[in-house]
Structures are given as C-alpha cells and as structure tokens.
Structure 1
Amino acid sequence: MGIYIRQERPEDYSMTEEMIKQAFLHEEYSDKKEHLLVNKIRKSDAFIPELSLVAIHQSHGVVGHILLSKITIVDHDIVEDSLALAPVSVAPSFQKKGIGSQLIRAALQKAKELGYHSVIVLGHKDYYPKFGFKKAALWNIKPPFEVPDEVFMAMELTEHSLENVEGVVQYSKAFSE
C-alpha cells in the first residue's frame, strides 16, 4: 500500500487537520472537534513535535496522524510526568488497514526513545490492550472526569515506571478550552 510514517511538519498541518475532521465525521463517540484539539495542543507547552506523527501515502498524502502530548499525574504534592495518546486518526478510506496500529507502535517507540516512561489513553477497551495498555485503575491512576475504568488506560514504556505512581491525570489546558 506504500505507507510510511514520519514526524508531522508545519506544512502538513492543514492537510492533517482536514484528514482528522474526516476521520471522526461519523464516529458515534466524537464531539467532532478532534482537529481543533490537535491545533490547540500544537500551540501549547504540552506539544512535543517529535511525537506528532503522520502516515503518508505516496499518492494521497496524509492519511493518518497520532499525537502524544505532555500530561501529569498528580497526587497531592507529588507530580509525575506522563503522556496522553490523543487523538489517533486515519482517513476513512484507509481505516481497517493497520495504519492506526502502525502509528501507535511508532509513537510509543519514539516516546520511549525520547525518555518518556508512561502513556495514558482514553479509548476502546478492546483495541488498546493489544499495545500493552491496561486499566489505569490498576495503578490507582484516575481520570479528572467520570469514565468507565475499562476505557481509561495506562501503559508503562519503562518497566515498573508506574509502580509507585498514583493520582489524578491532569491534561493540558488545550483539552478543556
């Protein structure tokens, strides 16, 4: 199929945002604002350019995107750095072809190479565990809002990195603006 994954570049931004908008257009559990979220994160101090990746098709351009951004896990005065995986998007005509999985694996590997130790995701309970995500509640890590335990997950990029971590996830302001 001729897909390769690379870091997103500023000249990709408008094409990426349009693809994200199309990817979520018919999703039941979407507010249809994921493209705006990506735009806000890019402008925030939570943005890590190396963890904004695109899937490129030789003749269609940007057909997928993933973003990992900085978050913290807070327990009173103890603050632990982590990453949020949100969102991951694939153009409708390229869905169900493994591109999302490729993006997730590439982003997790890059995050590990950059020295990050954990990732948090709010996502499908049957999809994310295949990448190593487990219920965040296992580490007593809680979302800042009400969601079922099985859709709020965490993953250790470094073995035992969440062993002594607990608290409430604090997303960047971009998620609540």
Structure 2
Amino acid sequence: MEWTIRSEEPDDAAGIAAVLTDAFSREDEAELVSLIRNSDTYDPELSLVCIEDETIVGYVLFSPVVIRAKDCDETPALALAPMAVLSKFRNQGIGTALIEEGIHRSYQKGTKIIVVLGEPGYYRRFRFESAKAHEIKPPWEVPEGAFMVLSLETNALRDVHGVVHYPEAFSHTTNTPQ
C-alpha cells in the first residue's frame, strides 16, 4: 500500500470528519477540528492528512496552547490532538508517520514543546514523557501518566511549569482531547 502525507486542503473536511468519527465512534473530535479550522489558531501546515488512493485514511492536528504558571508567565507550546486512523488501516504505520511528520513540521516552525493526552505506551516511542514530572498539568482530570510532554530543544522545559491552556474550541466539546 502506498500512502502520502500532506497538509489539509479545503476539500478535505468531510474526509477528516469521517476518519475521526470512525476512529472515536462519536462526532466530538470532528466537531472540535471544525471549530479549530474556523478559528484564528488554525494552521493548515500542522493539520495533516494521510491519503491512500485519493481517500483520507489518517489525520493529526497540532494546535497552539500556552503553559501558564501561577505567576502568569506563559510558555507557548503545541497540543497534539486529535490523531486518528481509519480502523481498517490501523497497525500499518500511518499514525506513526503522521505524528513524526507533525513533530518535524512543528520543530521547523520553531516550536519547542508539544503536549499530548493519550496512551503513554504509544506516545513514549516519540520521546513524550510524563508532564507531571515537569510540573506541567492538564486543565482537566486525566488518568495518571496520560498527559505527556515532548521537548523539541535541549532545556526547552527548564523553568517551565503550570497548567496548559487549550484554544477555546476545546471547551465546546463534551470530552477531553484524545
């Protein structure tokens, strides 16, 4: 099977929604992406699709967030959410390729920190580590170890701590990002 990864294009919205709905068995993530796509935080270069035979089979989005300390110091970062692959295309490396490309593009744009809420065993392969260990907290209650952080530059996490603040669109969905 041959597939390619590229930035989202204007005609991709329905295909992305189909992937997200299939992967999560609900529409919350598709609604989230639609809200972000129509906001001022959306960056099409960090909204990636995987295409096979002209069909979108995978998707990942990186959105700007800030890590806000108690003293109101803010550190910019990106949040990886959501990431999905059509169920019949899973376990073929598509999710890995999407995340690696997104991390690469994020770094190229000058991003130093990425956060993710997800399965620790999966995201550790990309060098994500416990956010709690760095005193970086999610704005919601999450399972122990599920909130992680990735430093894209040596010492990027030095003196960074606080609560991650997500774009407004994340507050409009009924579930936390996956």
TM-score (norm 1): 0.93
Instruction: Give deviations 1:67-107, integer Å, cap 9, x for gaps.
Output: 00000000132011000000001011101111000000000
1:60-99, aligned counterparts within 5 Å? 60-75=54-69, 76-99=71-94
Tell whether the 8 Å contact from 1:135 to 1:149 is kept in structure 2 after alignment: no
| 2:98 aligned counterpart, secondary structure | helix
Tell whether the 8 Å contact from 2:131 to 2:147 is kept in structure 1 after alignment: yes
Tell whether the 8 Å contact from 1:73 to 1:82 is kept in structure 2 after alignment: yes
Tell whether the 8 Å contact from 1:46 to 1:71 is kept in structure 2 after alignment: no
Matching residue of 2:102? 107
Matching residue of 2:4? 4
Residue 154 of structure 1 aligns to which amino acid in structure 2?
A: V
Q: CA deviation at 1:32?
A: 4.2
Q: 1:163 aligns with which of 134, 158, 178?
A: 158
Matching residue of 2:20? 20
| 1:149 aligned counterpart, secondary structure | coil
For 1:102 and 1:89, the matched residues in 2 are separated by: 12
Q: CA deviation at 1:45?
A: 2.2
Matching residue of 1:120? 115
Q: CA deviation at 1:46?
A: 2.1
Of the structure 1 ranges 42-51 and 91-100, higher mean CA displacement relative to structure 2 is found in: 42-51
Tell whether the 8 Å contact from 1:136 to 1:149 is kept in structure 2 after alignment: no
For 2:90 and 2:54, the matched residues in 1 are separated by: 14
In structure 2, runs of 5+ residues without a counterpart are 173-178
For 2:100 and 2:18, the matched residues in 1 are separated by: 23
Instruction: Give deviations 1:95-133, integer Å, cap 9, x for gaps.
Output: 111100000000000000011111000000110001000
In structure 1, runs of 5+ residues without a counterpart are 26-30
Matching residue of 1:153? 148
RMSD, aligned CA: 1.1
TM-score (norm 2): 0.92
For 2:167 and 2:159, the matched residues in 1 are separated by: 23
Tell whether the 8 Å contact from 2:20 to 2:27 is kept in structure 1 after alignment: no
Q: CA deviation at 1:20?
A: 1.2
Residue 54 of structure 1 aligns to which amino acid in structure 2?
A: V
Within the alignment, does 1:42 sit opposite 2:50 as a pair? no
